[in-house]
Amino acid sequence: MVHLSRVLLTAPRGLSRKTKFLDRIRVYVRGGAGGQGYVRYGGLGGDGGNVVMVAKSNKTLLKLAEDFPEKRFIAKNGADSKRLLLLGDNGEDLVVEVPTGVVLSLDNGKEIADLNADGETVVVAKGGAGGGPNNDFRSKKGETRSIRIDLKLLADVGLVGFPNAGKSTLLCSMSRAKPKVADYPFTTLRPHLGVTVFDDNRRITIADLPGLIEGAHMNIGMGHFFLKHVERTKVLLVVVDAQGFVLNRRSTFRTAFETIVLLNKELEMYKPELLDKPQVLLINKMDTECFNEKYEETLNLLKNCRESMDSIPEELQPNRLFDFKSIIPISASLGENIDTVKQTLRKIIDEENRIDKLPLQNKLNSHIDFHSKELSNTFIV
């Protein structure tokens, strides 16, 4: 039964296809072969073309997969040297347009490129050298590879939370994005991006991700499938429903505090380094009944986090705890405290950008300084 419900809740492989969103594909690439040299007259064969990937912001992986269903990219061969044309022409490079923000890696997981800016290029399969005196006039074959193209969103802020916490509602209230909002879990089936624009035109990008639930690391719910999209964000914005969460009648009810701890565990299980990022906690639905009591209770439990985890099975308790820079009560649907959220995020991002520019030793000092300064903030636990 447990197995069955896990299978039912497991993200189906075709999920992204059903929702017309694709954030990973594998392609075969081959550089063109070099042309044969002409020994008798010392003629040189042309070099094979390279397969080159170029980042384009208007491209999507879905479009790439639709345009090239075979997912094979083979560059042109170099021309052979001939009696009447001793210098064979080089084969043309094959240029493949991929979305901006992709990571390219080999089957063994080794990353070969990170294409973050529009127009960035990388040769993913070199063409073979044409035949000439260096290789006994025997040409070489082109390089052959399988390349995994992984789209990782480039956003300043990543929203993480259980389903129904109000992440999409928050994204709507902070930007012009129009993600689907509904009163049932897993309304959000794919990541959405929104942009918050400040009065001085400063922009902050926010990625709303499908909800996580406990056991995501065992592929329950949508699993960790979309967590890669927070890897490159500067700040984690953790959103919880003050009233807690229950997936269905057979599931255990989880209080807001428990959902925070369970989210903490899921992030840690995915990649502990994610917890190096600054984190902000939003306790949502402050317009609902008994909010103040629940909010206070959650803050108190967070103060003694380790001791307050009795209700959570040991294997679901994180080793490394969230260290929130700020905790803010909000109502995403009424827009309460949303301005505070925006200003807090802006301040943290500005500070992160400043730290990024410092030399390493100064970076460490600056981080401690920043943190202790923030401790005077009343929302800090």
Ligand X SMILES: Nc1nc2c(ncn2[C@@H]2O[C@H](COP(=O)(O)OP(=O)(O)OP(=O)(O)O)[C@@H](O)[C@H]2O)c(=O)[nH]1
Q: Which of 34, 163, 191, 278 binds ligand X (CB under 6 A)?
A: 163
Residue 187 binding ligand X, by CB under 6 A: yes
Q: How many residues bind ligand X (CB under 6 A)?
A: 24
CB nearer to ligand X: give 152 or 167. 167
Q: Spell out, one character per residue from 112 to 131, where the chain touches ligand X: x when CB under 6 A holds, - when not.
A: --------------------
Choose between 159 and 261: whose C-beta lies nearer to ligand X: 159
Q: Is 191 in the site for ligand X (CB under 6 A)?
A: no
Whole-number minimum distance, CB 21 to ligand X, in Å?
14
Q: Is 21 in the site for ligand X (CB under 6 A)?
A: no
- Binding segment for ligand X (CB under 6 A), chosen from 15-23, 106-114, 160-168, 369-377, is 160-168
Note whether 11 binds ligand X by CB under 6 A: no
Is residue 45 part of the contact set for ligand X (CB under 6 A)?
Answer: no
Nearer to ligand X (CB atom), residue 43 or residue 161? 161
Q: Which is nearer to ligand X, 288 or 365 (CB)?
A: 288
* Contact status: 161 vs ligand X (CB under 6 A): yes
CB of 22 to ligand X, least distance (A): 19
Report if residue 285 touches ligand X, rule: CB under 6 A: yes
Which of 115, 147, 155, 332 is close enough to bind ligand X by CB under 6 A?
A: 332
Q: What tokens appear for 287 in the block?
A: 């317009």
CB of residue 197 to ligand X, shortest distance in Å: 21
List the one residue from 16, 255, 284, 298 that touches ligand X (CB under 6 A).
284
Q: Which of 31, 35, 211, 278 binds ligand X (CB under 6 A)?
A: 211
Q: Among residues 53, 55, 165, 230, which is the contact residue for ligand X, using CB under 6 A? A: 165
Helix/strand/coil (H/E/C) assignment for every residue in the chain: CHHHHHHHHCCCCCHHHHCCCCCEEEEEEECCCCCCCEHHHCEECCCCCCEEEEEECCCCHHHHHHHCCCCEEECCCCCCCCCCCCECCCCCCEEEEEECCEEEEECCCCEEEEECCCCCEEEEECCCCCCCHHHCCCCCCCCEEEEEEEECCCCCEEEEECCCCCHHHHHHHHCCCCCCCCCCCCCCCCCEEEEEECCCCCEEEEEECCCCCCCHHHCCCCCCCCHHHHCCCCEEEEEEECCCECCCCCCCCECHHHHHHHHHHHHHHHCHHHHHCCEEEEEECCCCCCHHHHHHHHHHHHHCCHHHHCCCCHHHCCCCCCCEEEEEECECCCCECHHHHHHHHHHHHHHHHHHHCCCHHHHHHHHHHHHHHHCCCCCCC
Which chain residues interact with ligand X by CB under 6 A?
Answer: 161, 163-169, 181-183, 185-188, 210-211, 284-285, 287-288, 331-333
